[in-house]
A and B are shown apart, each in its own frame.
Chain A
Amino acid sequence: MNASSPVEDFHAWPDAQGRFGDYGGSFVAETLMAPLAELTEAYTRLRSDPEFVAELDRDLAHYVGRPSPIYYAERLSREVGGARIILKREDLNHTGAHKINNTVGQALLARHMGKPRVIAETGAGQHGVATATVAARLGLKCVVYMGATDIERQKINVYRMKLLGAEVVPVTSGSKTLKDALNEALRDWVTNVADTFYIIGTVAGPHPYPMMVRDFNAIVGREARAQMQEQFGRLPDVVTACVGGGSNAMGIFHAFLNDRDVRLVGAEAAGEGLSSGHHAASLAAGRPGVLHGNRTYLLCDDDGQITETHSISAGLDYPGVGPEHAFLKDAGRAEYLGISDDEAMEAFHRLCRTEGILPALESSHAVAQAIKLARELPKDGLVLCNLSGRGDKDVHTIAAREGIEL
């Protein structure tokens, strides 16, 4: 760490109120304050309980398939002509994305807290599938809220959830996407607080969710940091990940927060371009406000109404972002840049062709960002990119966009 300037410990956040600097907190209806306190208490107790930790580690190893490898994408790197691009293969996890790291943890918590019913919101359906999966395994009743628009564009995941025994409830209010699914899940929770555990799918929502979801995903960065040391003898020059709500990005960033020489770059969905108004780049183009229980950067109009977002990838189509990212942006510790639909599509095809890896559209944003970063660095540079999920769920969207009928 840099000795000449006062060094901030980025691992010290959040504070006891769940704040990351000015961001975070618990901006929820009164009825939810008690279940949030109950959850905070249970999580704080169990996270340091050796038995709980051992149970979680076992599940991560034998059920999720951890550790996931890092992989040097040599042909891609050569074609790009810059630094070496290293992929953290979260796409190889059970259910095909990083989302299961979090749902395994929260479902175990639900069981320890004696809650027989879990609910979740989902955008791309990955978090819904990951929740339905762990619910099936633990014998918990599972209800997933999903925007009607997303149900249309992620049909395969809807069917997967149903096969896993979950009830998928279409949400038709507002913009019929992820934010509305989150509203509806909160309404369910308010109504069923006694027997229900709400498994939030990203580092957003009220305290303790941003902290807890980050902690459950932080294994991604812990593994990757050790794997980089082991295989390349040093840390990467830059780490990049896509940012929807920000869980896979927080997951891989967290272990590197105090490595001040490692640059951290989040790739937000710039959709049709940041100036088009059709995007989901809350950090790059939004402003601080309050949504879904926390203060963070969000996309809203001058009257404070949340605006509709656009991204080719349903998982990034969210007008807010986790409060810790807002904090890291203001602190200058991480940067957040926009990747357009077209850039993500191009990166998608490139990774398919050069490496035989079909990335999720969300992750394709990270790959596009990694390609840009690799071009800025010398050939011996190292760009670590979180490949948060696989793209099987997106083949219909991609085919439709390219005018191909399946």
Chain B
Amino acid sequence: MSTAIDNRLDRRFTALKAAGRTGLVPFITAGDPAPELTVPVMHALVAAGADVIELGMPFSDPMADGPVIQHASERALRHGVSVAQVLEWVRAFRRDDAETPVVLMGYLNPVEIMGVERFAASAADAGVDGVLLVDCPIEEDATAAPLREAGLRRILLTAPTTAEARLQRACELAEGFLYYVSFAGITGAARLSVDAIAERVADIRKRSRAPVAVGFGVRDADSARAIAAFADAVVIGSALVESLAGSEDAGQVEQRVRTFLEPIRTALDR
């Protein structure tokens, strides 16, 4: 079984649980704000307290993303960022960081065009730990099978609209972590209703062996802390991407990462 293969994600979540800490999972779009800044930003995120890095693979038609991540994708694509390039950045990151798990997030078409098997093998070889394909629900699981076979964790999503039978199945199939989308909407919107999320996440945690990360709508220390009361990890995307946009050099982008992420880390650990 592929889950027997040692995986950084599993180790990291085991360690977090042992320490009684909530995981912090920042999302950035690979290649934004500039291609040469991606690896420095990844290291800066770790230095500022990230437990897992979610790296977005840019796509021309990001139908589940709001304007912030859409624009980040468009900027990255204007710089010619490809899937192969993203994998090279992960490989470069791994030279100095053998421990922090990296999850790639993206849409199916670039992966299909590369070939799912080839992608899975290259990603595992580059040091990727998990893959989240936004437009590949459990019904289309066969398409994603090569990911598991290569030892990568397939990160599944559940949402407020997910029906009972499908929720149960997602909880059974979950590995790495289960991503709970906190509201019906696109990335970057802000409509957190903490009580409703808490109830739903409690239900999911009872059924799923995999830890539960909550994303969509977490923007700052306050919202992160509210979610941390019941989730295993929080994912922060659009607000971070927005704060890094326009950075011109490594020094500036590292400073912005610290300013953005450190208060959130502190709030989670309080």
Contact = CB atoms under 8 A, between A and B. Distances in A.
B66 interface: yes
A291 B61 CA distance: 8
A292 B74 contact: no
Contact of B109 (A30, A35, A290): A290
Contact of B112 (A190, A193, A304): A304
Given A30-B157, A34-B161, A304 B111 contact: yes
B109 A306 contact: yes
A190 B109 contact: no
Contact of B137 (A30, A180, A186, A289): A30
A288 B59 CA distance: 17
Contacts of B136: 27
Nearest to B156: A30
A58 interface: no
A182 B61 CA distance: 10
Given A30-B159, A289-B112, A190 B184 contact: yes
B112 A26 contact: no
B166 interface: yes
B83 interface: yes
Interface residues of B, number: 42
A186 B157 CA distance: 18
Interface string A16-42: 010000000111111111110100000
B135 interface: yes
A288 B107 CA distance: 15
B207 to A, nearest CB: 16
B186 to A, nearest CB: 5
A30 B157 CA distance: 6
Given A25-B140, A190-B64, A31 B110 contact: no
A2 interface: no
A405 interface: no
Contacts of B223: none
Interface in B43-89: 59-67, 70, 74, 77, 82-84
B137 A173 contact: no
Nearest to A34: B161
A174 interface: yes
B162 interface: yes
A37 B163 contact: yes
B60 A305 contact: yes
B113 interface: yes
B198 interface: no
Nearest to A191: B185
A287 B113 CA distance: 9
B121 interface: no
Contacts, number: 118
A137 interface: no
A27 B185 contact: no
A288 to B, nearest CB: 8
Nearest to A289: B109
A31 B180 CA distance: 10
Contact of A173 (B74, B84, B109, B181): B74
Contacts of A34: 159, 161-163
Contact of B114 (A182, A293, A304, A306): A304
B161 to A, nearest CB: 4
Contacts of A179: 61
A300 B59 CA distance: 11
A49 interface: no
Interface in A309-362: none
A303 B114 CA distance: 7
Nearest to A182: B63
Given A290-B108, A306-B109, A187 B60 contact: no
A174 B60 CA distance: 7
A35 B63 contact: no
Contact of A26 (B60, B139, B163): B139
Q: B62, B63, B109: which has the most chain A beta carbons within 10 Å?
A: B63
B110 A33 contact: no
A380 interface: no
Contacts of B109: 289-291, 298, 300, 304, 306
A28 B139 CA distance: 10
A149 interface: no
B192 interface: no
B189 interface: yes
A30 B59 CA distance: 18
Contacts of A28: 63, 135, 137
B134 interface: yes
Contacts of A173: 67, 70, 74
A27 B161 contact: no
Nearest to B85: A303
B30 to A, nearest CB: 13
B63 A191 contact: no
B158 interface: yes
Interface string B81-117: 0111000000000000000000000011111111000
Interface of A: 17, 25-35, 37, 173-174, 179-180, 182-183, 186-187, 190-191, 193-194, 287-293, 298, 300, 302-306
Given A186-B64, A187-B65, A193-B161, 8 more contacts: A26-B140, A28-B137, A29-B159, A30-B181, A174-B61, A180-B61, A191-B186, A290-B112
6 contacts: A29-B157, A31-B181, A193-B184, A292-B63, A304-B110, A306-B109
